[in-house]
Amino acid sequence: MHPVPSIPVAPPRAFTLIELILVMALLTVVMALISPALGGFLRGRGLDSEVRRFISLTHYAQARAVSEGIPMRLWIDPVQRRYGLSNEYNFTVTGVDQRAVEYALGPDLEIEVDPRSWASLNPLVLDQSILQNRWAGGQPSSAGGSRIVLRFHPDGSIDETSPIGVWLRHQPANSTSSRRGRVDPRDEVHIAQGQTRLRYEVHTTPPFSSRR
């Protein structure tokens, strides 16, 4: 019986230094090409999530106002970059709204409120007392900012002195101006009352004239 000849096995081949350098250089070029697009994608996702959360909060405010029969206040503090929801009157023993919520904007996001309201834009409003307590004007807050209020009545309607809308935008941390003269459409979303004034919704163009 003849012995089976052994088949020589080649030693495992390792990458040479030149090959590793070429791979690293190729990865560097690829990352440089896709970084701007990837940054825009992540930026858009963060802004989109914030817009969805804000609109959901307006729907929640209307639902609570109807179910509890109490006006609801969706407050916004642009300086502190926070917003939240609480009832206007509280009849509990503690006097605290147990269902109140509060959110903080992401580190690269900011919110701006349109100071106009339907009441202030209506030339037929002769009784100016309706404008004496304009929720769109802002009320001082304990945190040092100014809380602007979107007020919802027990029937679910929006108070006519509430702000027409808000802008949520992506703002780089190194930016020195909170209001830019020109904003990339991908960096800003406008949320405003619809023509029926029944709810807040995303608008492609601001109603009436622009704030800029």
Q: Mean pLDDT, the chain, as a whole number?
A: 75
41 pLDDT exceeds 50? no
Q: Say what the pLDDT of residue 38 is.
A: 44
9 pLDDT exceeds 60? no
- Residue of higher predicted confidence among 181 and 19: 19
Q: pLDDT tens-digit profile of 100-116? A: 999 999 888 999 998 78
What is the residue-wise DSSP string for 161-172? Answer: TSBSEEEEEE--
Domain count, the chain: 1
What is the residue-wise DSSP string for 198-212? Answer: S-EEEESS-SSS---
- 77 SS3 class: strand
pLDDT > 90 fraction of the chain, expressed in percent and rounded: 32
Bridge partners of 112, per DSSP, are 167
**Terminal CA-to-CA distance of the chain, rounded, Å?**
96
Question: Does a structural domain hold residue 64?
Answer: yes
Question: Does a structural domain hold residue 5?
Answer: no
- For residue 161, the enclosing domain spans 17-203
Question: Does a structural domain hold residue 208?
Answer: no
Question: Does a structural domain hold residue 134?
Answer: yes
Q: Say what the pLDDT of residue 187 is.
A: 83
Cα atoms in the Cβ-side hemisphere of radius 13 Å centred on 65: 22
Average pLDDT of the residues in 152-181:
76
Q: What's 25's domain CATH number?
A: 3.55.40.10
Q: Does the predicted model carry a pTM greater than 0.95?
A: no
